[in-house]
Structure formats: C-alpha cells, structure tokens
C-alpha cells in the first residue's frame, strides 16, 4: 500500500462490499464527519464568524483534520502490513471495508426500491415520508407521479455524488482522496444552502463541491448514455445524449443537471419543474421531454444506475492501468 495509491482489487473490493452489504446503521464515518462540522460551525458562530470568512474557516478546518486523519490511517495500515503476511491480509481487509463506507450504491438503490414498492402497495403516506431521506423538497403533498420523478432525479444525482465521484477520487488519489471528496460533499450537504442562514457561511463549501463534482458529473452522464444503449437500445442512448447536451445546464447546480438530463433522455421523461422547499415555491426549469413511453420507470432508472456504476469501475481501473503502464 501507498498513501495516495491503492491497488485495483482494493477499489473493486470496496465497491463490491458496499454493493453486497450496504452501509451500517450505526458508527458510520460520515456521521462522525457531520458531527464535527456541527461542532465547528457552532464554535465559529459563537465567535460571531457568520459570514464567508467563517465558512472558509469551517471548510479549511474540517478538510485538514479529516484529510490528515486519513493519511495517518493509511500510514498505520502500511506499518502493520510490514509485520507479516497475516498482518498484510488484515490491513488490506480493513482498508477494503472502511473504504466501502464512503460508497453509497446499495443504500441508494435500496431506498429507491423501498419507496417504489410503497407506491405499488398504495401506501402514499409512507412513501412521502420515506422520500424525505432522498430529497430536500417538501413531500407532504406530492402525487405518486411526482414521487417517482423525485426518486429518478435522486438516483441520477446521487449516482454521481454517492458512487462515481467517490470512486473517481479513490482511483485518482487513493483513500485520502476518497475521504477528501466525501468530506467536501458532506460539508456542502450540511451548509451549502442558498437560504438566509447559509447563503454566505456555506458559500465556499458549495463552490468547492461544485468544483470537485465537475468531472464526475459529466462522467456520470456519459455512463448513463452507455448504460441506456446496453439496456434500452440505440434510440434511448441517442436521446440521452441529446437531452444531456441540451438541458444539462438548465439546473441551478452546474453539475446535478448533467446526469439528470441524461437519465431523462434515456427514459423519455421530463424531470425538474416547480417544487416547494420549506414551504416556498421554487420555479425550477424542466429537463427532458414529457414522452413517458415506458412502464416501470423507477426500476429502469435503478438498472441504469447499477450498470453505470459497474461500467465506471471497470473502465476507470482499465484506464488507470493503461496510464500507469505508459509511464513505466
């Protein structure tokens, strides 16, 4: 093991462990990072550092602490691995398991399945409540059709944030880069809002999250195009690429709209549009075209997300191997 390099089998192993077992209900490292963010934010606000500078200090402090902790963690595993082949096996296993906690494919797909099943059973109230775990919009008055649209939007966006982006940085810079990305993403999810409380304080975290997600979001869009070609045929792939290029920039986020538009085109549906957030109507633009030519849209979206994830792992590891060989 090296600090900023990880073997391909470790990356694939972490991906598989997440896919098979999912996330633990307790003692998750992301929760620990979230608690750290809350405490540092409270400390800074008590010092009356509520503006952009305070937000910058929050970002810098959290990122440095978590990043250095991840480097120390890898150093400890490397030192342990030197003791014997048993210690090497144990340290590698620990790295695989801990790394899997920063990938979220299983949890994303399982939650989508759960909500879709509740809709099929006619349990609209529980579906609305469960949807709150995936989206930030108000869910109390959503129709079944709107809930399905929200599920598909979440699957598309979180394919990038929860799966492809973490894997991208894992492949690029090993465990510390994986943890660095998830820390930036967690900061954005906690303070990167455009409301009165966080418009200035969370500005830097939001901008850094946009920067970190720029490349992975576009990779995610392309993976959806390729997956739709395999699963749904040439028409869906062409439409996926067309809508991604046409509507990908309509979203208020510079990144979220790319995979959402790609998914909308693949399924032949229209995403986005006006929704309530905290009781306030936000008039978001529509993405895609309201064709609705397929049944089981949520199930199809899940399959596209799963295939896109597996494709990226294989393609990413192959390209990295080719690049390393070209340097030697």
Buried b (16+ CB within 10 A) or exposed e, 56-76: bbbbeebbeebeeebbebbee
Element (H, E) at 9: helix 8-21
298-328: per-residue pLDDT in tens? 999 999 999 999 999 999 999 999 998 988 7
- Helix ranges, 163-296 (H): 165-191, 203-232, 234-247, 257-267
Q: Is the pTM of this model over 0.75?
A: yes
Give phi and psi for 195, each to the nearest 5.
-95, 180
Buried b (16+ CB within 10 A) or exposed e, 186-202: bbbbbbbbeeeebeebb
Give the distance, in angstroms, between the CA of residue 31 and the centroid of all CA atoms in the same chain: 15
Strands 270-272 and 280-282: unpaired
Helices (H) and strands (E) in the chain, counts: 12, 4
Q: Is the pLDDT confidence value at 293 over 60?
A: no
Q: Of 236, 245, 246, 221, give the one whose Cα is nearest residue 159.
A: 221
90-149: per-residue pLDDT in tens? 999 999 999 999 999 999 999 999 999 999 888 999 999 998 888 878 888 888 889 999
Q: Is the pLDDT confidence value at 183 over 90?
A: yes
146-165: per-residue pLDDT in tens? 999 999 999 999 999 999 99
Q: Is the pLDDT confidence value at 250 over 90?
A: no
Domain extent listing, the chain: 8-327
């Amino acid at each position: 093991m090296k600090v900023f390099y990880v073997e391909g089998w470790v990356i694939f192993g972490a991906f598989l462990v997440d896919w098979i077992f999912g996330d633990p209900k307790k003692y998750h490292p992301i929760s620990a990072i979230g608690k750290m963010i809350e405490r540092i934010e409270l400390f800074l606000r008590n010092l009356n550092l509520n503006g952009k500078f305070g937000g910058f200090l929050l970002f810098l402090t959290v990122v440095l602490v978590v990043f250095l902790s991840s480097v120390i963690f890898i150093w400890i595993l490397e030192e342990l691995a030197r003791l014997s082949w048993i210690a090497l096996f144990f340290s590698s296993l620990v790295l695989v398991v801990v790394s899997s906690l920063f990938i979220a494919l299983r949890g994303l797909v399982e939650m989508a399945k759960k909500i879709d099943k509740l809709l099929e059973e006619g349990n609209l109230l529980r579906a609305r409540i469960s949807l709150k775990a995936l989206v930030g919009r108000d869910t109390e008055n959503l129709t079944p059709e709107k809930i399905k649209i929200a599920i598909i939007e979440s699957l598309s966006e979180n394919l990038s944030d929860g799966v492809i982006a973490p894997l991208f940085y894992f492949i690029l810079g090993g465990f510390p880069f994986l943890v660095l990305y998830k820390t930036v993403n967690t900061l954005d999810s906690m303070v990167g809002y455009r409301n009165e409380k966080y418009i200035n304080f969370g500005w830097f975290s939001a901008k850094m999250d946009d920067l970190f997600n720029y490349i992975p979001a576009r990779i995610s869009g392309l993976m959806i195009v390729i997956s739709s070609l395999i699963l749904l045929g040439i028409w869906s792939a062409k439409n996926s690429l067309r809508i991604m290029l046409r509507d990908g920039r309509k979203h208020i986020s510079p990144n979220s709209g790319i995979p959402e538009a790609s998914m909308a085109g693949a399924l032949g549906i229209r995403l986005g549009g006006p929704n309530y957030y905290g009781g306030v109507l936000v008039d978001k633009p529509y993405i895609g075209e309201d064709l609705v030519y397929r049944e089981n849209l949520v199930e199809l979206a899940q399959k596209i997300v799963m295939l896109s994830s597996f494709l990226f792992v294989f393609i990413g590891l192959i390209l990295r191997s080719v690049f390393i060989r070209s340097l030697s």
